[in-house]
Amino acid sequence: MPARLVDVLLERKILVCVGSGGVGKTTTAASLALAAARRGKRTLVLTIDPARRLANSLGLEALGHQVQEVSRELVRANAPSQTGELHAMMLDQKAAFDEVVARHAKDPAAVQRILANPVYAQISGSLAGAQEYAAMAKLHDFDRAGTWDLIIVDTPPTSHALDFLDAPRKLSEAIDSPAIEWFRKLQGEGGSRWSVVGKSGTFILKRLAKFVGSKFIDDLGVFFTEFNDILGGFRKRAEETFSLLREARVGFVLVASPEPMAINEAMAFHQRLVEASMPFVGFVVNKVHPSHPIATPTPAAIEAALAADPSVLALGLSGTTRTMAAHALLAAHSELEILASADQQAIARLRATDERAMIVQVPLLRDDVHDVTRLVGLERYLLA
């Protein structure tokens, strides 16, 4: 197992950043991609729903679902290498799902019919696993194109990190659910539309049509017949992508914050990777409260430090005010130290799951990480 993320960037071809909601997947993916580009790699980052200011700062704001190169000047400023490139794509998951459909439909007319079907519009946004599936399908395409030295993939916000690995199965299950199967039978092989569902089915459909309109029922039937044709392609692609993710040139970076839930999910995900023989590279624990121990943590020592500080002196505070400030500072500091120590205990739990695992810590910073300078600033922690 590599010891540092910088080696991972130079060795692997695909990195997938996974973790629970809000822990810093997008930030980590962007920062690692930038770091690789600055070390001479032709890099692509597939990012999902980045904070607007981050998208702006990468020049992606007006872009949508297309690959765009991030300004070379920005990427190469003070960089160790002047040959790398950073390309980025803000993945529109609906568009990516449409592309998958287009790929597997039997002809262009069928593509048009499916995409224009109101049932499709409803269902493609809400099918379990559809978003993750679409993101992975896109990765699969880019990997096949062979244009990049390294592709870094951000993953969608999910309530549970494991949803990501379960996406293809969930999508299959959703499509194969009894309710959907029933509708699919509506337009059975050549026969009359209502015959296959039998008497009680026809009755239910008629009742249903009263509420939702018979056009909707028609749309539904047409949709499932058309959709049925592309399912085989879907499943095959899911299997191919799954096996791609097990190759040794891929690496999973598990991002967590020190919160117990996020750590639990990172541990569960790690377990799943091990079970599935998938290539784990390390944990990134982001937003860690830093510890700044004070040599002599007494009010007197703090007060003496305040008295010696020219900027405090300039305030012209009275002795009593300085004493009160010293007590308040000490109390605030000890609370921060408690948070820092809780975070280290959480990280120790991670370490206990895998003694040899790489664990990278990134401190909780004062500001959001929304521009290139700050992304580069994260390098010193991520690559340490």
Ligand X SMILES: Nc1ncnc2c1ncn2[C@@H]1O[C@H](COP(=O)(O)OP(=O)(O)OP(=O)(O)O)[C@@H](O)[C@H]1O
Binding footprint of ligand X on the chain (CB under 6 A): 19, 21-27, 49, 51, 157, 286-287, 362, 364-365, 368-370
**Closest to ligand X by CB, 65 or 374:** 374
**Closest to ligand X by CB, 22 or 213:** 22
- Please report how close the Cβ of residue 60 comes to ligand X at its closest, in angstroms: 14
Q: Is 26 in the site for Mg ion (CB under 5 A)?
A: yes
- Please report how close the Cβ of residue 372 comes to ligand X at its closest, in angstroms: 13
Q: Is 20 in the site for Mg ion (CB under 5 A)?
A: no
Q: Which does 23 bind (CB under 5 to 8 A by kind): ligand X, Mg ion, none?
A: ligand X
**Closest to ligand X by CB, 49 or 354:** 49
**Closest to ligand X by CB, 79 or 135:** 135
Q: Which does 241 bind (CB under 5 to 8 A by kind): ligand X, Mg ion, none?
A: none
Q: Is 124 in the site for Mg ion (CB under 5 A)?
A: no
Q: Is 117 in the site for Mg ion (CB under 5 A)?
A: no
**Closest to ligand X by CB, 25 or 87:** 25
Q: Which does 368 bind (CB under 5 to 8 A by kind): ligand X, Mg ion, none?
A: ligand X
Q: Is 158 in the site for Mg ion (CB under 5 A)?
A: no
**Closest to ligand X by CB, 220 or 285:** 285
How many residues comprise the chain?
384
The Cα–Cα gap between 117 and 218 comes to 10
- Please report how close the Cβ of residue 29 comes to Mg ion at its closest, in angstroms: 8
The Cα–Cα gap between 241 and 133 comes to 9
- Please report how close the Cβ of residue 340 comes to ligand X at its closest, in angstroms: 14
Which residues contact Mg ion (rule: CB under 5 A)? 25-26
